Chain A
């Protein structure tokens, strides 16, 4: 099965986003894949507001079943989000639970004017009423597989399929 070229999808997303950027726009990426994508988009768009990075570990809805995952990163939002138009960036949109957790965390930092979701790939399978306003590609993923973004040493992005880890 052929996966879309992440680098090309990224270029298309850039074109889309250029058209919607405004003076109040700011970008936040969700660790880990979403942060890589956001770093790329943020730099290429030349945004003035510094990039925010978010680890949603403390807002996950499966904490009681799975506990805290190891290696949490520290959420860093180096600007006041009140009144901002937030571009929330993740690599793969699936159940929508990560995005819900991210929105809950965001509101503990203030009240943004709006949140727009940007994803590299949408694999369907939503369990919550969430959709991406900017979606680079739609990908069908076989059962038992996981779609992930990878970044190599040269900083190149690629989509890969992996066997899903046992819960």
Chain B
């Protein structure tokens, strides 16, 4: 009896501690969910300080978003008449509906931030070079998809923010030369924002964009492995190639007979050695679960403490004053508001310059950066390498510029998009004119 109880206790408090390396690697390669991990992973790639696990956090957020998103689909009605009401129902009538929507919202905003930070980490560690360049481009596409998912997502409640964001967004598309009118017409499903518009953005948001993101994410992960793991291993690889392999001290032959010391020194292969590696199970899997747990708890806590924003129901007759985009798009709003150029009789609209040309240019530069990078090979896989100082400065300056625009947009802009310094009174704007 006692023995049976002990056995039961062990079964309940089961912990994974493989008996051998073979058992450990089989736990990875024989498992459907884990086989895309390597059986062994470098200690360097496991470091908290190197990668900060931002990629894992992004993937965790996307998993949470997929699950909460599918849940929300049971309650949301993609109709201009009922969309807003179904969000109100989630807030006030559905048990735990408010937390569900809040978590989806905060995980989405978190994903924009974390994906961006992940990109910054890869940049500052020079981890996008050589063979990894292709995966950097995939990463830029993933960032773009994350932003598109955010945009299509906050349209769905069909509140004032949604309506005016669609208005501004599709008018920016209309500014594109030649094809702009057609793109806008296709996005709206007509000339006006109506039922077709909501349905199109809905299907994009719940099906096409997530599908594309999942496919690209899978490819992104696959490439990480095919390109040799995290770039953190590159300094170690270089070291292993340079350092002579230690040989057992035996007698050695020289031209004049025996000499003391070791034999002819052999340069080791570029392969990583046993001492650099740990088994993925349980080392990697444990950390992945820890990161997921942290992200899950953080978003849930945020969902319990803070309510997702919801403005008044969409009203085509009244534009909110000021009408602000969410924080991660407000820098683009600053750009379109201030980049209209007048040269003599010609005017280039800020919608084109700041809404299409400048962001498009930024994305292009970002995508081709690995081919512009001329820093030496040993700058790869370490934070803030001295030989990368200039390009790190350029990247940091771009981030600072965007953050400044975001701060101006979020905190200083008031009615009629005028600047109001902190402390100065802002005029009260009636809701309806």
A and B from one assembly?
Answer: no
